[in-house]
A and B are shown apart, each in its own frame.
Chain A
Amino acid sequence: MSGLAVACRRVVHIYRADAGDVVALAGVDLSISPGEMVALVGPSGSGKSTLVALLAGLMRPSAGRVSVGTYDMGKLTDREISRLRGTEIGVVVQGAGRNLLPYASLERNVWLAQRRAARLAGIELDDPERILDLVGLAGQGAARPGALSPGARQRAALAVGVAASPGLLLVDEPTSQLDTRGRDEVLHALEAVNAHHGTTVVVVTHDADVGARLGRAVTIRDGRVGAEGRDGQDFAVVAGDGTVQLPPDVLGTFPPGTLFTVDHEGTAVTLMAGPGDPVPPGPSAPAA
């Protein structure tokens, strides 16, 4: 199966709680091309995991639209979403152990994850051993998760996630608590999966290096897409409602409520702080 495109349009998600509602996503606009590898980065509580949960169909957006491939996730029934997760969307939750049945071998874990897709006609599935080979666990199909190193266990979790050859793989914090070698092995496995199936890969991570390694890093801040880094360069992003989040260091200089004049010439845009505003500690910087 080839990769699936992902599109989020003004996605809002609110958690209802007795103590008051919490806005986790406040209008996310994001497009991911088929076969693309994207890292979602940002501080804790910024909404990364919520966005992944919406992409996985584990929750419904409070507003806005989430599309995976041709599916509008907000309009699918539970049964359709369940089928989608069994065939076209692979999910690897945070903590490798939580993705694996501890008493079953790696092969059996992968086999179990293929069951839903296996029952659907027209889907050809790789042999579990081959999938394990793909993530660098060749010959370890008979091993139990508990017998693996943390890095290998995380790759086993990836194997389970891609067992049904999904078009979209959502991975939450795959490299946390891993050493450098383990992290590299996991990233290598992700790249292999992406290269082998053309699977679109979305990884939630705190690790900026992971973002840099994947090529595209989308920063989620305060429930919005705050910035994007591509090929080592950071960009602000114009949201669907025309808003642009300033980088944190700029926001430190111009606190909320600051008035700007906006000049643009060609592709160059200049923000100029207006009169009566708090005296800036330094010169204004153009935004591109």
Chain B
Amino acid sequence: MIALAVLMLRARPWRAAMVAVLAALAVGSAVAVPAYLAAADAASVRAELAAATPANQVVSAQPPAGHAASDGSPSYRPDGTFEQSGAVTYQLQGFQPIFTASFDVGVVDRAELWRLTFRDRVCEHVTPVTGRCPTGAGEVMVGEPSARAGKITVGNTLPMSQLKQTADGPVPVGNVVPVSVVGVYRPTAPSEPYWGPVSPFPAVGPRDPQWEPVISSRTTMLLFRLEVPEFQQMDLVPRPGTLTPRRLAALPHEIADLTALATAADIHVSSGVPELSGRVAANRTLLGLLVPMAAVPVILLCWYVVFLAVGYASEERRAELGLVALRGSGRGQRWWLAAAESVLALLVGAPVGYLAGHWVAWLGIRLTSGPSDVPVTAADAWWALAALAGALAAALLALRRDLATPTTELLRRVPSRAAWWRTAGAEVVVLGVAAAAVVDQRTSGGRAHGLLPVLVPAVLMLAGGLLVARLLGPMATRAGRRALARGRLAVGLAAIDLARRPASRRVLALLVVGTALMTFAVTTADVGERARIDRAGVEAGAAHVVQVQAVPPAELLHAVRTVDPRGTFAMAAVSVPVTGTTANFLAVDSPRLAATAVWPDRSGGVPPASVPDRIRPARPESIRVDGADLIVDADVAEGPDGTVDLRATVVSVPLGDSAEVLVGRLRAGRHAYTASVPLCRRGCRLASLTLEQMVDAAGDRDLAVTIREIRQRDPDRVIARAADLADPARWRDPEAATGSPVIAPNGRDGLGLRLPAEHRTVTVKVADAPQPLPLLVSGSGAAGVAQGLDGSELAAAPVATVPLLPRLGANGMLADLEYLLASTPTSNTLRSEVWLGYGAPADAVDRLQEQGLIVEGEQRLADALDKQRREGPALATQFSLIAGLLAVLLAICGLALVVGVDRQRRAADLTALRTQGVPARVVRAAATRGQLWLAGAALVAGPALALAVWAVVGDGVPLFADDAWHVRAPVPTPGPLVGPWLGVAVLLLAAAAIAGYAIRGATRPADEGGIR
């Protein structure tokens, strides 16, 4: 019987090959799921680990610092239990325990503050620049910067003692221990987890000798009689290869157990591993959903095409099956003879698919994450077996109908017809499932949970494909009749041929679904990539963001402008804390936004170049001072004499240092008052004038004073004339809103001020900053109040609302830093950043450091984007593109298969037409056009269907591994679809043309040349 099956395969090799290819596609798609998942998982973990800080990888245990000794006296060195048995008690499989002990020391008669540190295996992790590692008592090794700063060399002996922090600073305590410097070191890998959750060697910026450990042997440390508790810690550091996805999943539980054990012994355990584990788990969960989401439709499509392939083959072999039945063959024999050809082809194709699946996974991962191993797991075999079982079941299901048909029916030469109700019933079920899935998706808030919801797009596309195919019959019939009525024979015959063959409908459904899956995958990839770019750009703010140690904003502004005087690549940015709103507030040097910021595409029509115009409106001129003394000509018309001080606040430009100076104690009549303002020698601006009643003076009368002129000396000049001073637009009266204004209208004689008797102090500010402060806000971040740089409340007004702002996202406020500085002369030190644009020179960071800025960290957009591209959703998207391509290839296989099987029958029909006198040209055209129309219809309907499905359920497609990005996904645009569409169009049209020519070729009768 096997020989017979082999004969069948040899008799119809192409059909068997087609079934084998389908099996390979099904098994390959299935195997690619676990293979890709495993590889993507590993790649994703690699990316997470690469981005993870040591704190995310290390588990630390700390005993309490110091305890009471047995005699009741305080002991500052733990009793040794933790040091001696901690490595045994607190351990995790695959983690190396690293014990650390440290305390602060100083060198007698020297200013350095050092941290004397013992750390297990430290010599394996440092590179001696000179000398060697300390081993004996009294030996230490000093870091390179410390050695350089302290001019210390190997061989020096340093008298050290413990330091104790007091209100007056560190003071030496305890005994003095002479230590020998036996080496100067450099950490081999400063940021490796070995150094604990927080590396003592910062990755950027100058290394601080204070925190750089002075490495000693344990015996050296024991020479110190402790007056300050010794700090001890056990770091559990993962060995290479320990943090696998599986291990990471288990670690939070193990750490929880470890914590419980430690807590009982009064040991504190801390770790960021669970956070890393959570991120990896979120990625894994998404990958586990999204990769099957892409693969399952292809596998189902494969099974369907296998069903069609075997069904058509069986249809063609009806007579053969009838013959076998006629010979009285048993049921098993009949099944074998009917199924052997397909089963053998499937069994041959499956191993090929198994290998191909691994290859596809390998290729997919290589394209996205670089070279990577694709491990062979048990899951591969299960997926492969499931896919093969499904394909076998589909094949047997396809055969079932003919095997259940009576022998006489099989022997008849009339093709069997599937029961219409069976087909319609299946379609109704699919449509029902699709409708239910959409309702479920919409009512559950659009966020995918579980496998079923993520299959919604595929179900919808399947339903859509069936509907489109269902329309084919009536539309083709109508078009055919119309064409025939108009005498267009070829068109009419082709259309009617399409309408009357059920196979055409199935092929169209396949082509539409295949094209739609491909389009959906491309759309997902495009939207996902744009969303990632949006997010990375918005979260980073600029191509390269440098976090610097907090400095006064004016200093930051000055330093950045010094580095980049033309404003072509660097911009200062300050994050201002705000209360009363969830929106974040950022003040930037806005004229440089266009050159530095990554401006979101969705900026509501507000280009970055237009932002300065909006948030930096024209403002009154400042009153500039650049002399050594400030002279105020004031005329007191009424009020107390000699009890009110006139003070002025000046702010240096550009550094922003401010100073309040006493201009003079006001006396009755007109006098000139002089104040020394050394701060202003390099330039400053007058910020405010204040009238202040002396503390012990009785205020029984209002004071009225007119400032008639303000001058400066050295160099001498008038800086504000009476007419300028009299202009109310140049002053801001904080009391105006209360109904008792400080500024009294005074014609053109100068600035009239009034200090009510009941007030101690009044201040008027120079109105050289717009008020309210113009803000560009995003999303719901609009607020009428912002916060000044000194934390004071500041009137603000949104001038425009945009969907997204760099760094602030969909809920933020953006102001001009210079204007904000003008509004709040005094300032706290705030989180400061420098944004560098793509055009920044390579040494931009060095230049910033030369300006005194201390770099604390850096963030590059490309790194953030790269990390996101290695996360679950992005990796799954790549897989869905592969799956989309497979779907298209499957549809083409289906087309080839149906045409191959149906060719002779259709050729017979067309030949009959030729025999009846239809011109050869017409029959030829009719033979080829039908297939081209099917391909054309699919190329239109497929993308339209995919975009419609995206519009309905696109929100439910996860684009990120976390839930932190609440911005709506970008709208799909046709641009990215054009290339893939053209590729698919070429494939489909070529396949359709070949199919058409195949029919045309078969249409030639053997005699007389047929339709030649």
Where the two chains meet, the residues of A that have a C-beta atom closer than 8 Å to any C-beta of B are 53, 56, 58-59, 82-87, 91, 93, 98-104, 108, 112-113, 115-116, 119, 160, 163-164
Contact = CB atoms under 8 A, between A and B. Distances in A.
Interface in B1-44: 3-4, 7-8, 10-12
A100 B12 CA distance: 16
A108 B406 CA distance: 25
A98 B323 contact: yes
- For the residues of B in contact with A, the DSSP-based class is helix
Contact of B323 (A83, A84, A101): A101
B320 A53 contact: no
Given A58-B407, A108-B4, A103 B10 contact: yes
A93 B326 contact: yes
A103 B320 CA distance: 11
A102 B11 contact: yes
Contacts of A85: 326-328
Interface string B797-811: 000000000000000
Interface in B169-193: none
Contacts of B661: none
Contacts of A163: 327
Interface string B315-332: 000011011111111100
Contacts of B322: 98
A267 to B, nearest CB: 42
11 contacts: A58-B406, A58-B411, A59-B408, A82-B328, A83-B328, A87-B328, A98-B322, A98-B411, A99-B323, A103-B7, A108-B4
Given A98-B319, A98-B411, A91 B330 contact: no
A245 B8 CA distance: 50
Given A53-B408, A101-B323, A108 B328 contact: no
Closest 3 A/B residue pairs (Cβ):
A86-B328, A103-B11, A85-B328
A82 B325 contact: yes
B544 to A, nearest CB: 71
Contact of B4 (A86, A87, A112, A119): A112
A108 B4 CA distance: 8
Contacts of A101: 4, 7, 320, 323
Nearest to A82: B328
Nearest to A116: B328
A53 B407 CA distance: 10
A231 to B, nearest CB: 33
Contacts of B973: none
B10 A116 contact: no
B327 A113 contact: yes
Contacts of B408: 53, 58-59
A112 B411 contact: no
B333 interface: yes
Contacts of A82: 325, 328-330
Max chain A C-beta neighbours (<10 A), residue from B3, B12, B323, B324: B323
Max chain B C-beta neighbours (<10 A), residue from A83, A113, A115: A115
A38 to B, nearest CB: 21
A52 B287 CA distance: 65
Nearest to A104: B7
Nearest to B8: A103
Contacts of A83: 328
Interface of B: 3-4, 7-8, 10-12, 319-320, 322-330, 333, 406-408, 411
Contacts of A160: 327
A99 B320 CA distance: 8
A56 to B, nearest CB: 8
Contacts of B8: 103
Nearest to A89: B328
A3 B408 CA distance: 25
A115 B411 CA distance: 20
Contacts of B333: 115-116
A86 B319 contact: no
A100 B326 CA distance: 11
A112 B4 CA distance: 9
A83 B328 CA distance: 5
Given A104-B4, A108-B4, A115 B326 contact: no
Max chain A C-beta neighbours (<10 A), residue from B3, B8, B328: B328
Given A98-B411, A108-B4, A108-B7, A84 B319 contact: no
Contacts of A164: 327-328
A86 B323 contact: no
Contact of A115 (B11, B319, B329): B329
A160 B325 CA distance: 13
Contacts of B320: 101
B411 A84 contact: no
Contacts of A115: 327, 329, 333
B327 A86 contact: yes
Given A101-B4, A116-B329, 12 more contacts: A53-B408, A58-B326, A58-B406, A59-B408, A82-B328, A85-B328, A86-B327, A100-B323, A103-B8, A108-B3, A108-B7, A112-B324
Contacts of B329: 82, 86, 115-116
Nearest to B333: A115
A94 B196 CA distance: 90
A86 B324 CA distance: 10
Nearest to A85: B328
Nearest to B10: A103
A59 B330 CA distance: 18
B367 to A, nearest CB: 44
A53 B333 CA distance: 23
A85 B324 CA distance: 11
Contacts of A59: 408
Given A58-B407, A93-B411, A104-B4, A112 B327 contact: yes
Contacts of B328: 82-87, 116, 164
A72 to B, nearest CB: 18
Contacts of B326: 56, 58, 85, 91, 93, 99
A116 B323 contact: no
Contacts of A119: 330
A135 B823 CA distance: 116
A103 B12 CA distance: 9
Contact of A116 (B7, B330, B406): B330
B485 to A, nearest CB: 31
Max chain A C-beta neighbours (<10 A), residue from B8, B326, B329, B411: B326
Nearest to B317: A101
Contacts of B327: 85-86, 112-113, 115-116, 160, 163-164
A198 B407 CA distance: 27
Contacts of B411: 58, 93, 98
Contacts of A99: 323, 326
B522 to A, nearest CB: 44
A102 B10 CA distance: 12
Nearest to A78: B406
Max chain B C-beta neighbours (<10 A), residue from A84, A93, A102: A93
Max chain A C-beta neighbours (<10 A), residue from B322, B327, B408: B327
Nearest to A92: B326
B383 to A, nearest CB: 35
Nearest to B407: A58
Contacts of B325: 82
A93 B327 CA distance: 11
Contacts of A87: 328
A104 B333 CA distance: 16
A104 B3 CA distance: 10
Max chain B C-beta neighbours (<10 A), residue from A56, A87, A101, A113: A101
A147 B131 CA distance: 95
A61 to B, nearest CB: 14
B993 to A, nearest CB: 31
Nearest to A114: B327
